[in-house]
Structure 1
Amino acid sequence: MPVKFKIIQKGQPGVVGGGSKKYYASPVYRGEKSLEDLTKDIEKISTVSGADIRAVLYALVDVMQDSLSDGQIVRLGELGSMRASLSSEGKAKEEEVTAAAIKSAKVIFTPGTGIKNRLKTLKYEKA
């Protein structure tokens, strides 16, 4: 099934009034899949019960949170990997950089080769 997209207009970032505006393709999302939905999908193609699948998926979430909190990269085989990234204030001297300079953290997901290859073969359709 093709990925649908819509057209949006964007201005230039950082330019007062937006500067010259251009048109870009933007994906149209067709809903979302929850852990419960994924559990049901896996149950259909597996001999494992929904309760067991759900237990493993929720445990995976807990273990991943702990691992990321410990500063570890979480590798999930062909799915890809996740790692924590920091955003901090720039300081003039190395010794001025302390934990107080850290503004926020986020998770970076790097897809595995199967996902990367699938993205290369997507078909697109204007909505």
Structure 2
Amino acid sequence: MSIQYKLYKKPEPGVAGGGNKKWYANAFLNQEVSIDDLVAKIEKFSTFSEADIRGVLIAMENVVKEEICNGNIVRLDVLGSFYPSLSSEGVEDEKDFTAANVKNVKIIYRPGKRITKALSQVDFKKKG
């Protein structure tokens, strides 16, 4: 397994004129893998039909969405966990804070140990 990368030049933050620009790697993403692709691959590793797999994936999406919207951590064993995270405006006094101060909500994903371990074992190749 390997991840390809491309290089890009980035200026120093906060330095007028960009300062000493350096080269950094950026992952080159080969292609997008769709639900159809995943279903076909899962079908090869199991005795479940395409319809069964699709049904479980759709149900899982609905349940994960509901649990995250209820403020819960969704832990999918070795796959990892998902949970909501907020950003807000600050206020001087705690009593002045209201829900209107919340400006953004996003989902944080933390990969499980097997996924993290797999990533630590990939090699890197420069995109030609």
Give TM-score, length-normalised by structure 2: 0.93
Q: Deviations over 1:105-124 (max 9, x none)?
A: 00000010001111111101
Using structure 1 for the length normalisation, give the TM-score: 0.94
Quick one: distance in 2 between partners of 1:16 and 1:98? 39
Cα distance, 1:12 vs structure 2: 2.8
What code does the residue aligned with 1:97 have? F
Q: How much does 1:46 deviate?
A: 1.1
How many residues are treated as equivalent by the alignment? 127
**Percent sequence identity over matched residues?**
45
Which secondary structure state, in structure 1, belongs to the residue aligned with residue 82 of structure 2?
strand
Aligned to 1:99: 99
**Offset at residue 19 of structure 1 (A):** 3.3
Query: Structure 1: which 4+ aligned runs deviate by more than 3 Å?
Result: 13-19
* Whole-angstrom distance in 1 between the partners of 2:32 and 2:117: 22
Unpaired segments ≥5 residues, structure 2: none
Backbone CA RMSD of aligned residues: 1.2
Partner of 1:3: 3
